[in-house]
Structure 1
């Protein structure tokens, strides 16, 4: 069992990324930033985050990362190279190609999670400029053997009630 924190689209925020990291340092095993930090890769605010580059990032960030956590393969990208604002089709092809169980992406600033063909697609929204909701959001995934539990948090660390979901894997 592991917990994974997922944040995206912080667009220049520094203190907030540090506060989120310190708030959850002892209860998560991995912290992911899905791009558009608009910071240098070695900026202290990104310390501890597994980070990819977005369309507003320059230099030094990988465009994609893959990692294994608790037996789940996680594919991480910003999403701009896969046209995620219009469809998840291109991202679905890439996820299948990489054998991902979970795909973490950003770019649209829209919080969302859905399972397509047994793969969980997660966009944690934005902690700077959310779209389709007022709350600035990030997500913690609780990975268990056959279940992933998702909890959504506001930037201030308060859980948003009614948004927790559970996804089952075969």
Structure 2
């Protein structure tokens, strides 16, 4: 399984279009964690499972999505409704409620990955306005039998960081 995660493009469309073109045949799903500042009728967001962020003022997108990709359940939200800038505790509670294996969120514009109670939390950073790091980033998550890898890439599609997790079976 391989998915692409992006967030916080704040109205910029070229990055979304280029990511779709580059990864169209390589990933099983495209997730957008909000603050696109676009409409569901915009061509650039077609093909993305996308949620509404705090800067998305329309109601075109849901505030969260639960989506199964192969044998993995994703929970996608922007993060502002869960106070992710201070703690992941509230979003962890929600992840447990929906039985998510992986939680994808944005809002802080800070890329990061963390495993909590067997649930993987991924923030891809921002594809337009990063914080704490200079690189504009998105994430790729790959999972095979007993291993999961999260790769962070910049807008030139160069890997800048990665984290690998072992998955316990059973």
TM-score, normalising length: structure 2: 0.95
Instruction: Show the counterpart of 2:166.
Output: 168
The 2-side partners of 1:88 and 1:164 are apart by 21
After TM superposition, the structure 1 = structure 2 runs for residues 29-68 of structure 1, keeping only pairs within 5 Å, are: 29-57=28-56, 58-68=58-68
Identify if the C-alpha distance between structure 1 residues 82 and 55 changes in structure 2 by more than 3 Å, giving closer, same or farther: same
Instruction: Show the counterpart of 1:18.
Output: 17
The 1-side partners of 2:20 and 2:40 are apart by 16
The 2-side partners of 1:22 and 1:69 are apart by 20
Instruction: Show the counterpart of 2:89.
Output: 89
Give unpaired runs (5+ residues) of structure 2: none
SS in 2 for 1:157: coil
SS in 2 for 1:20: helix
**In the TM superposition, what is the alpha-carbon distance from 1:145 to its structure 2 partner?**
2.4
Instruction: Show the counterpart of 1:114.
Output: 114
Instruction: Give runs of ≥4 in structure 1 deviating > 2 Å.
Output: none
**In the TM superposition, what is the alpha-carbon distance from 1:68 to its structure 2 partner?**
0.9
Give unpaired runs (5+ residues) of structure 1: none
The 2-side partners of 1:114 and 1:68 are apart by 20
Would you say the 8 A contact 1:8–1:33 is kept in 2?
Answer: yes
RMSD over equivalenced CA pairs, Å: 0.9
The 2-side partners of 1:167 and 1:50 are apart by 25
TM-score, normalising length: structure 1: 0.95
Would you say the 8 A contact 1:20–1:157 is kept in 2?
Answer: no
Would you say the 8 A contact 1:70–1:144 is kept in 2?
Answer: no
**In the TM superposition, what is the alpha-carbon distance from 1:70 to its structure 2 partner?**
2.5
Work out the number of aligned pairs and report it.
Answer: 167
